[in-house]
């Protein structure tokens, strides 16, 4: 009888246990350690917008930690009068390079002006009902990601038309300690590289705004609404913030980590993985020998990375519906992974192994895509050994780190 009673008590206690489990802390405003982005702190900064007509550059990444849209927040709390769309549109539904037209937003009834295509810089007409132009976009930490130049053009317009510019700051997904790359030669200035910075800059979008404004002479009336609790050592998955895809081919943090390196393949006849589920992680072409290419890359013993032979068929973009062979880039230690060196090494090895098939798109054109992406002419011209290319990266990175120091907002 006692044994039966004991079993009954244990059974009842086991039913009670799930109700007693520890409940994790709310990652939102209730947690002191939660990273709060600029838009999370709007209530502390409403005085900036008092009595002003507000314009907003944003897309689906413009949300607070409670998943509320920045559009909705500013529409409720300020006099929001106009919206502005970067590449991929305000809803993030346009592929890279697609033309985005101006239109009326159904939810707010506000005009959405396109800042991608023929008109990248806001005009006087677009800003006639705006006193303060704001931006809330998630950058990915790479020189050639166009959102930072949408910001730069908007800042130029604000300086020209005497408008205030406000940045709601957000984390750099790759953290803020490491920078890597070559400094862009302004002879190759374009919408994928307007200023002499390196590919992986290690700065938040607010810090970049400060650099663009002072170092490169924009000179607008700039305010950065800083984050709270963000530290430079944080990758995006350390922040507890939701990953909202910044663009259609940036599905994850893993993509963003390799992107500063493998994006160079956009300037070649090799697929950079667009049209697959692993853009910028899968690199290849129909003419590649996957085993040979992977072995040659692994023989370089680059830190923090392994290359696996891979086969894939892009559903769109280069080599659409054609079987490609190549590699998948597996980052084994992101803290030591040199993305830019890896990308340049992958390009160098492909050019050496397949000289009859590998091609740089429009190589004879000064403004060919590879020149614009590398911010130089020497990679296309193939005048330096891989070791010499790495030396350029090391030299330019050290120079850039010294330049960026005064513009950093977060010191931990």
In a domain, 28, yes or no: no
Mean pLDDT throughout 291-304?
A: 99
pLDDT at 11: 42
Cβ–Cβ contacts within 10 Å for residue 62, how many? 26
User: Does 200 lie in the same domain as 61?
Assistant: yes
pTM value surpassing 0.85: yes
CA distance 143 to 183: 10
User: Does 228 lie in the same domain as 93?
Assistant: yes
User: Does 287 lie in the same domain as 202?
Assistant: no
In a domain, 396, yes or no: no
pLDDT at 20: 36
User: Does 302 lie in the same domain as 156?
Assistant: no
User: Does 209 lie in the same domain as 164?
Assistant: yes
CA distance 329 to 342: 9
pLDDT (tens digit, 9 = 90+) per residue, 153-181?
Answer: 999 999 999 999 999 999 999 999 999 99
In a domain, 20, yes or no: no
In a domain, 29, yes or no: no
pLDDT at residue 5 tops 50: no
CA distance 118 to 35: 37
Mean pLDDT throughout 254-266?
A: 99
The CATH code of the domain that includes 271 is 3.90.1150.140
Q: What percent of the chain has pLDDT over 90?
A: 86
pLDDT at 100: 67
User: Does 238 lie in the same domain as 146?
Assistant: yes
Nearest to 147 by CA among 172, 183, 180: 172
Secondary structure of the chain in HEC code, one letter for each residue: CHHHHHHHHHHHHHHHHHHHCCCCCCCCCCCCCCCECHHHHHHHHHHHCCCCEEEEEECCCCECCCCCEHHHHHHHHCEEEEEEECCCCCCCCCCCCCCCCCEECCCCCCEEEECCCCCCCCCCCCCCCCCEEEEECCCCCECCCCHHHHHHHHHHHHHHHCCEEEEECCCCCCCCCCCECCCCCHHHCECCECCCCCCECCCCHHHHHHHHHHCCCCCCEEEEECCECCCCCCCHHHCCCCCCCCCCCCCCHHHHHHHHHHHHHHHECCECCCCCCCCCCEEEECCCCHHHHHHHHHHCCCCCEEEEEEEECCCCCCCCCCCEEEEEEEECCCCCCCHHHHHHHHHHHHHHHCCCCCCECCCCCCCCHHHHHHCCCHHHHCCCCHHHHHHHHHHHHHHHHHHHHHHCCCCC
The token pair at 148 is: 């930072």
Mean pLDDT throughout 335-344?
A: 99
pLDDT at 6: 40
User: Does 194 lie in the same domain as 81?
Assistant: yes
Instruction: Report the sign of the C-alpha dihedral through residues 200, 201, 206, 211, in that order.
Output: negative
b/e for 277-315, b at 16 or more Cβ within 10 A? ebbbbbbbbebbebeebbebbeeeebebbebebbebebe
Which one has a higher pLDDT value, 33 or 126? Answer: 126
Cβ–Cβ contacts within 10 Å for residue 253, how many? 15
In a domain, 17, yes or no: no
User: Does 68 lie in the same domain as 217?
Assistant: yes
CA distance 103 to 114: 8
User: Does 267 lie in the same domain as 364?
Assistant: yes
Degrees to nearest 5, angle at CA 402 with 401 and 405: 85
- Categorize the per-residue pLDDT at 90 as very low, low, confident or very high, splitting at 50, 70 and 90: confident
Which one has a higher pLDDT value, 19 or 121? Answer: 121
pLDDT at 23: 33
pLDDT at residue 1 tops 50: no
pLDDT at 186: 98
Nearest to 287 by CA among 254, 230, 326, 332: 326
pLDDT at 95: 56
Q: 57 to each of 112, 130, 385, 407, how far by Cα in Å?
A: 9, 12, 42, 22
pLDDT at residue 107 tops 90: no
pLDDT at residue 409 tops 90: yes
Q: Domain containing 138: what range? A: 38-243
pLDDT at residue 32 tops 90: no
How many domains, in total, are found in the chain?
Answer: 2
Mean pLDDT throughout 122-132?
A: 98
The CATH code of the domain that includes 191 is 3.40.50.12170
pLDDT at residue 27 tops 60: no
CA distance 151 to 137: 9
| Mean confidence (pLDDT) of the chain | 92
């Amino acid at each position: 009888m006692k044994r039966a009673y004991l079993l009954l008590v244990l059974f009842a206690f086991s039913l009670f246990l799930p109700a007693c489990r520890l409940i994790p802390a709310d990652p939102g405003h209730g947690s002191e350690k939660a990273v709060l982005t600029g838009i999370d702190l709007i209530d502390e900064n409403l005085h900036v917008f008092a009595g002003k007509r507000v314009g907003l550059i944003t897309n689906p990444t413009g949300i607070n930690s409670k998943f509320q849209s920045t559009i909705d927040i500013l529409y409720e709390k300020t006099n929001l009068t106009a919206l502005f769309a970067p590449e991929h549109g305000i809803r993030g539904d346009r592929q890279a390079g697609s033309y985005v037209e101006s239109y009326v937003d159904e939810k707010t009834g506000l005009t959405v002006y396109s800042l991608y295509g023929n008109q990248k810089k806001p005009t006087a007409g677009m800003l006639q009902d705006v006193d303060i132009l704001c931006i809330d976009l998630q950058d990915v930490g790479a020189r050639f990601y166009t959102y930072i130049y949408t910001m730069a053009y908007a800042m130029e317009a604000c300086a020209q038309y005497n408008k205030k510019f406000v940045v709601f700051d957000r984390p750099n997904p790759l953290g803020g300690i490491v920078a890597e790359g070559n400094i862009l030669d302004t002879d190759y200035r374009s919408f994928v590289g307007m200023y002499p910075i390196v590919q992986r800059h290690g700065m938040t979008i607010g810090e970049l705004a400060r650099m663009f404004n002072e170092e490169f002479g924009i000179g607008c009336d700039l305010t950065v609404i800083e984050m709270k609790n963000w530290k430079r050592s944080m990758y995006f998955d350390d922040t507890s913030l939701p990953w909202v895809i910044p663009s259609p081919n940036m599905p994850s943090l893993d993509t963003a980590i390799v992107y500063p390196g493998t994006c160079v393949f956009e300037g070649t006849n090799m697929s950079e993985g667009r049209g697959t589920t692993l853009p910028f992680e899968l690199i290849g072409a129909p003419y590649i020998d996957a085993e040979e290419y992977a072995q040659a890359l692994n023989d370089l013993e680059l830190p923090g990375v392994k290359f696996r032979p891979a086969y894939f068929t892009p559903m769109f973009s280069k080599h659409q519906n054609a079987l490609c062979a190549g590699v998948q880039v597996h980052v084994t230690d992101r803290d030591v992974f040199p993305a830019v060196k890896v990308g340049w090494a992958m390009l160098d090895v492909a050019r050496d192994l397949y000289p009859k098939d590998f091609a740089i798109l429009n190589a004879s054109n000064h403004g060919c895509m590879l020149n614009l992406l590398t911010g130089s002419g020497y990679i296309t011209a193939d005048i330096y050994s891989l070791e010499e290319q790495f030396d350029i990266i090391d030299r330019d990175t050290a120079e850039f780190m010294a330049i960026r120091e005064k513009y950093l907002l977060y010191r931990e």
